[in-house]
Structure 1
């Protein structure tokens, strides 16, 4: 019945599980830290990761970024010298995937590739509009423009501009490079697919990873995303899209990956899991391919779809990790939460027994990510459910919303295994 009231979107797609996926490994490189426990600490300690960018940002209405700190790429990339040929976003992807594989290995007690064929491991990842410092491409731009009019000249670009560009820069600009390089360095040889959040959502990679498992295409499926939107040309691009005028916006960077297997597989006997994927629902929203904003009815419908998938009532959800709060639809999401959870979702600052917030807003600990937004939130949910911190006690089921960039919107329910 709810689908009949929704306009400008597809019907709600509800995932039905014969076997539920299990999250067995998490790798995260984020502004709040490089370990799942560090992210939980940032939430319960109410930390903020916002700071000013390294470049002059006086032109922009919102001038904050969320940077990854205490991170040295050479410590996570082998051989270390290869890091200099990678963009920062690619470095994050390689590091996060490596951390995910290492985490899975520690939880199983054996090296991953010693008991799973690399061809039986699939990877599905999201990537955003990659970018580099303007300093790296300024010589090319200057030599590609007509000296009289200042306009870009294709002839000068081919005859003069390209010769001023370092050939290795192309590997740092191409948006598909982060997951592609991560696959190579991670040793994953099975099915892989890249999702662009400008056309859909990197969370579609999470959904496709589950399909790869349930359809028997892979024994282990990894999904994730990576971002680096803290540089000057990203600010310029987002300003042209008008995103800074829509509300508070904190440009972010980092990467997150999750490794999953099916509950009934032989892996269950040897792995200490984070959580189980209890339910999931999604929809396609038509219109603006950048923001694709949702109405409160759409938000409510997709959350109710996820509850139906998990065969749960709203009273059985202990915590909600909201969408990334881009400013243009957080009110609609909040209205939907009120409608579903009533007094439980009464206010954005409401709490459960003074422990974790009833509603966690990931923007404070991650900033406004794009390709990695949904996987940041999923990693946070998995970490909270696995945490031994007494401040996270009582958390059994968490709803994770991903309603941000792209036309594909998702709601996932995680629960303790």
Structure 2
């Protein structure tokens, strides 16, 4: 079977440490952290009072003011990222109407802010004061629907929800659709805004959040003193195109997706089995051996168990050669913005390919004897990236991996 080659031609990002490609990339290279003390609500009674908030986002810069007011924040982020990615790719919505295109968005949660506010209204003011549009703007598929409406795109529209792996799975599904000839161009990404009182409370109750009070030091992937992740928000979208179509219009090509693997890990399996299976499937899908991978963008959310588990899986998959490969996590910069994280990792990889730069794992100050790989601590490194592996893990056992190759 002839399969189409799939390339990345545009990127858009709204992150706690930078809005837009240039700002985000500069923040990653310089180690700028987007985690701050929570300002969206009074968190003084919470055991955790920090989060990755996007503070300088003005939706009217991307969306008509009247329409923006009727959108939930995660939809505003998604529409903004799509518009940035299309502009970066040199495409317009009219261009997409002339080819079979579509939208695939990963959403890990929902619009908790609206639902929490409406719940308070119901119990304090009664049923008649409920916003009749709240159920429509807060559903998980609202961002993809708002994108289609804002850009007037008549193609297909899909929403993927596999926890924090949702964004990477959205890209993986978009890759498959173009590879198999079912689409020519796809906007794929993830968007989540879970920084609300209820979401923070549930995560605090689960005792999986960092209790380090210094915001800029709290998320510390692979570090000996990591003690949990940091809740965050954001969105990221990339433009996927069939290679021949991209070449025909002389598009700038950031990189080529050459493999994708996904696996659920059952509760009866040894932890890490699902991630290893996803990586193995990804490598098999691309028909390359582990030795050919030159860099790993790790999921590593600064969790005591998950960071160690990913390290062990990488050793199992790559053997001794993993000690010669840079492995880094951007979660120290951005916290964990759920579905957006994996797509932000992809963007960090393809921008790194352009400049031959591997972004650092910031806040890696005290080596953990069990996490003993080359994590590119604290400073970017000049390093050619030819093939990169991107990993993502989601609550419920979802594991996903994607391979990206430099296109000369």
TM-score, length basis structure 1:
0.78
Distance change >3 Å, CA 73–CA 120, structure 1 → 2:
same
Equivalent of 1:316, from 276, 292, 298? 292
How many Å separate the matches in 2 of 1:297 and 1:177? 33
Structure 1 gaps of 5+ residues are 1-15, 106-110, 144-160, 353-357
User: For each residue in 1:95-123, what CA deviation from the matched residue of structure 2 results, as whole angstroms up to 9, or x when unmatched?
Assistant: 01111111111xxxxx4345442561111
Q: Using the TM superposition, give the Cα deviation of residue 377 of structure 1 relative to its aligned residue in structure 2, in angstroms.
A: 1.4
How many Å separate the matches in 2 of 1:383 and 1:225? 18
Distance change >3 Å, CA 42–CA 76, structure 1 → 2:
same
Aligned to 1:382: 350
> Secondary structure of 2:166's match?
coil
> Secondary structure of 1:409's match?
strand
User: For each residue in 1:153-191, what CA deviation from the matched residue of structure 2 results, as whole angstroms up to 9, or x when unmatched?
Assistant: xxxxxxxx2212233433443332222112211222101
Q: Is the 1:284–1:407 Cα contact (8 Å) retained in structure 2?
A: yes
Aligned to 1:46: 31
Distance change >3 Å, CA 406–CA 379, structure 1 → 2:
farther
Distance change >3 Å, CA 58–CA 113, structure 1 → 2:
closer
Aligned to 2:398: 408
Distance change >3 Å, CA 294–CA 60, structure 1 → 2:
farther
How many Å separate the matches in 1 of 2:351 and 2:262? 23
Deviates more, 1:384-393 or 1:31-40: 384-393
Aligned to 2:176: 211
Q: Using the TM superposition, give the Cα deviation of residue 259 of structure 1 relative to its aligned residue in structure 2, in angstroms.
A: 1.1
Aligned to 2:121: 139
Structure 2 gaps of 5+ residues are 211-225, 358-379
Equivalent of 1:338, from 315, 320, 330? 315
How many Å separate the matches in 1 of 2:300 and 2:47? 19
- In the TM superposition, structure 1's runs of 4+ consecutive aligned residues that sit over 6 Å from their partners are none
Kindly report which structure 2 residues correspond to 1:53-68, keeping only aligned pairs within 5 A, or say none.
Answer: 53-54=38-39, 55-68=41-54
How many Å separate the matches in 2 of 1:59 and 1:193? 39
User: For each residue in 1:244-299, what CA deviation from the matched residue of structure 2 results, as whole angstroms up to 9, or x when unmatched?
Assistant: 389412111111111111224464552111101122222122349xxxx9723433
How many Å separate the matches in 1 of 2:356 and 2:56? 24
Kindly report which structure 2 residues correspond to 1:8-407, keeping only aligned pairs within 5 A, or say none.
Answer: 18-54=3-39, 55-77=41-63, 79-105=64-90, 111-117=91-97, 120-127=100-107, 128-132=109-113, 134-135=116-117, 137-143=119-125, 161-198=126-163, 201-240=166-205, 243-244=208-209, 247-265=227-245, 267-287=247-267, 295-325=271-301, 327=303, 328-342=305-319, 345-346=322-323, 358-387=326-355, 392-407=382-397
Distance change >3 Å, CA 68–CA 48, structure 1 → 2:
same
TM-score, length basis structure 2:
0.80
How many Å separate the matches in 2 of 1:177 and 1:120? 22
> Secondary structure of 2:339's match?
coil
> Secondary structure of 2:140's match?
coil
Number of aligned residue pairs: give it: 366
Deviates more, 1:298-307 or 1:111-120: 111-120
Aligned to 1:7: none
Q: Is the 1:21–1:276 Cα contact (8 Å) retained in structure 2?
A: yes
How many Å separate the matches in 1 of 2:270 and 2:236? 25
Distance change >3 Å, CA 200–CA 368, structure 1 → 2:
closer
> Secondary structure of 2:239's match?
strand
Q: Using the TM superposition, give the Cα deviation of residue 202 of structure 1 relative to its aligned residue in structure 2, in angstroms.
A: 3.9
How many Å separate the matches in 1 of 2:95 and 2:59? 28
RMSD: 3.0
Q: Using the TM superposition, give the Cα deviation of residue 306 of structure 1 relative to its aligned residue in structure 2, in angstroms.
A: 2.3
Distance change >3 Å, CA 214–CA 397, structure 1 → 2:
closer
How many Å separate the matches in 2 of 1:184 and 1:407? 33
Deviates more, 1:298-307 or 1:396-405: 298-307
